[in-house]
Amino acid sequence: MNKDSFLFKEVAREDIRKIMTSSLGYAGTFEYGLLNGGLFNTTYLVECEDAAKYVLRLGPVNRHLILDFEHNLMNAECYVYNLCRENGIPCSEVVCCDTSKKVIDRDFMIVKYINSDSLCESKITEEEKREIYREVGRHTKTLHSIKYNCFGRVSEILQGVKFDSWTDYLLFEVRSILSKGIAVQLWDEAYQKRIEQIFTDNRVILNEVKCASLIHTDLWEGNVLVKSGKCLAIIDPDRAIYGDIEMEFASPWMINDDFLLGYGEINYSPEWSKKQKIYKIFFYLIDAYVWKLEYGQPRRTKELLDKIESIVKDVAE
- Tell me 171's DSSP state: H
Distance separating alpha carbons of residues 96 and 74, to the nearest angstrom: 10
- Tell me 4's DSSP state: G
Contacts with 297 (C-beta within 8 Å, 6 or more apart), sequence order: 4, 291
Per-residue confidence (pLDDT) for residue 311, from 0 to 100:
96
Which residue segment(s) compose the domain that 64 sits in? Answer: 2-116
Residues 58 and 138 occupy one common structural domain: no
Residues 89 and 136 occupy one common structural domain: no
Which of 75, 101, 116 is the C-terminal boundary of a domain?
A: 116
pLDDT band at residue 251 using 50, 70 and 90 as cut-offs: confident
Residues 101 and 148 occupy one common structural domain: no
Residues 104 and 143 occupy one common structural domain: no
pLDDT band at residue 38 using 50, 70 and 90 as cut-offs: confident
Contacts with 118 (C-beta within 8 Å, 6 or more apart), sequence order: 37, 221, 222, 223, 224, 225, 226
Q: pLDDT tens digit string along 39-65? A: 899 999 999 999 999 999 999 999 999
The amino acid occupying position 85 is R
Distance separating alpha carbons of residues 92 and 234, to the nearest angstrom: 8
261: helix, strand or coil: helix
Which of 116, 142, 175 is the C-terminal boundary of a domain?
A: 116
Q: Is the pLDDT of residue 101 over 60?
A: yes
Residues 93 and 123 occupy one common structural domain: no
Residues 168 and 111 occupy one common structural domain: no
Residues 103 and 69 occupy one common structural domain: yes
At 227, give phi and psi (nearest 5°): -155, 130
Q: pLDDT tens digit string along 282-312? A: 999 999 999 999 999 999 999 999 999 999 9
Contacts with 210 (C-beta within 8 Å, 6 or more apart), sequence order: none
Residues 36 and 63 occupy one common structural domain: yes
Work out how many domains the chain is built from and give that number: 2
Q: Is the pLDDT of residue 317 over 70?
A: no
Q: Is the pLDDT of residue 76 over 80?
A: yes
Per-residue confidence (pLDDT) for residue 218, from 0 to 100:
95
Q: Is the pLDDT of residue 78 over 60?
A: yes
Q: How many CB atoms lie within 10 A of CB 248?
A: 24
Establish how many alpha carbons lie within 13 A of residue 173's alpha carbon, considering only the half-sphere containing its beta carbon. 28
62: helix, strand or coil: coil
Residue 253: give its domain's CATH number.
Answer: 3.90.1200.10
Residues 172 and 295 occupy one common structural domain: yes
Residues 137 and 76 occupy one common structural domain: no
Residue 81: give its domain's CATH number.
Answer: 3.30.200.20
The amino acid occupying position 171 is L
Distance separating alpha carbons of residues 237 and 135, to the nearest angstrom: 17
237: helix, strand or coil: coil
38: helix, strand or coil: coil
Q: Is residue 51 exposed (0-12), middle (13-18) or buried (19+ Cβ within 10 Å)?
A: exposed
Ranking 6-10, 92-96, 211-215, 311-315 by mean pLDDT, the lowest is 311-315
Query: For 129-150, what is the mean pLDDT?
Result: 98
Per-residue confidence (pLDDT) for residue 3, from 0 to 100:
67
pLDDT band at residue 36 using 50, 70 and 90 as cut-offs: confident
Bridge partners, residue 110, by sequence: 56, 96
Distance separating alpha carbons of residues 177 and 192, to the nearest angstrom: 9
Per-residue confidence (pLDDT) for residue 315, from 0 to 100:
83
Residues 238 and 270 occupy one common structural domain: yes
Distance separating alpha carbons of residues 258 and 231, to the nearest angstrom: 14
pLDDT band at residue 219 using 50, 70 and 90 as cut-offs: very high
> Comparing C-alpha atoms, which of 2, 287, 280, 255 is closest to residue 134?
255
Contacts with 24 (C-beta within 8 Å, 6 or more apart), sequence order: 95, 96, 110
Establish how many alpha carbons lie within 13 A of residue 233's alpha carbon, considering only the half-sphere containing its beta carbon. 21
Q: Is the pLDDT of residue 2 over 80?
A: no
Q: Is residue 265 exposed (0-12), middle (13-18) or buried (19+ Cβ within 10 Å)?
A: exposed
Residues 182 and 209 occupy one common structural domain: yes
pLDDT band at residue 252 using 50, 70 and 90 as cut-offs: confident
Bridge partners, residue 108, by sequence: 58, 98
